[in-house]
């Protein structure tokens, strides 16, 4: 006859063995299509530059703005800029955190917006070598994104990248677009 302790011990051993072969109940973090696409854009900006970009001098990443209204953005514009900054940091570049500074045009609902007339002044005050700026335009089923890496001293683009984001549900939410 099998006693209760033996059954319990057998159950515990079987459970531990099952956990050991399956691994933890949660898996590795998944990378979304949005993150993957924006990281590829940052990779292209950095590698496509017409001149060597120092990893020691700061890069400023501005919030992407709406093409039809360059004084406005959305959660999508703010998130894309955050992901670009993340990837540039992962690549070893020094990225200035603008949210900690009070010297640029910031609207709480829009993010860090850099107007062209302020570009040189802002870059100097942050000792930045380059600035990432960008726009986006909402199409019927995609969002078109345009990025430029600007030389802070001259104001000239030294790298550019264009891509699109499919109008998936996550992008709709970030744009504030109601589902169909």
pLDDT in tens, 67-82: 988 888 889 999 999 9
Return the higher-pLDDT residue of 3 and 48.
48
What would the two tokens of residue 177 be? Answer: 């677009």
Q: How does the average pLDDT of the chain come out, rounded? A: 78
The domain locations on the chain are: 31-175
Query: Do residues 94 and 57 make contact, with C-beta atoms less than 8 angstroms apart?
Result: yes
Query: Do residues 81 and 99 make contact, with C-beta atoms less than 8 angstroms apart?
Result: no
Average pLDDT of span 88-103: 78
Selection from 30, 37, 151, 137 nearest residue 84 by Cα: 37
In sequence order, what are the beta bridge partners of 97? none
- Sole residue written with tokens 């079987």: 14
Q: Which of 25-29, 77-81, 137-141 has the lowest mean pLDDT?
A: 25-29
pLDDT of residue 26 exceeding 80: no
pLDDT band at 154 (very low <50, low <70, confident <90, very high): confident
Length of the chain in terms of residues written: 180
For domain 31-175, give the CATH superfamily: ABC-type transport auxiliary lipoprotein component (3.40.50.10610)
Average pLDDT of span 101-125: 51
């Amino acid at each position: 006859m099998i006693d209760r302790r033996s059954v319990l011990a057998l159950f515990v051993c079987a459970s531990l063995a099952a956990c050991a072969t399956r691994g933890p109940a949660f898996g590795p973090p998944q990378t979304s299509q949005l993150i993957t696409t924006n990281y590829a854009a940052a990779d292209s900006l950095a590698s496509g530059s017409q001149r060597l970009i120092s990893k020691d001098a700061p890069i400023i990443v501005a919030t992407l703005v709406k093409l039809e209204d360059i004084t406005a953005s959305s959660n999508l514009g703010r998130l894309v800029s955050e992901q670009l900054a993340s990837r540039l940091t992962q690549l070893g570049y020094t990225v200035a955190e603008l949210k900690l500074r009070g010297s640029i045009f910031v609207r709480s609902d829009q993010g860090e917006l850099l107007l062209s007339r302020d570009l040189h002044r802002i870059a100097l005050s942050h000792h930045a070598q380059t600035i990432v700026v960008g726009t986006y335009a909402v199409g019927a089923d995609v969002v078109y994104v345009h990025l430029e890496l600007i030389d802070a001293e001259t104001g000239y683009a030294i790298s550019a990248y264009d891509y699109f984001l499919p109008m998936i549900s996550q992008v709709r939410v970030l744009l504030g677009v109601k589902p169909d």
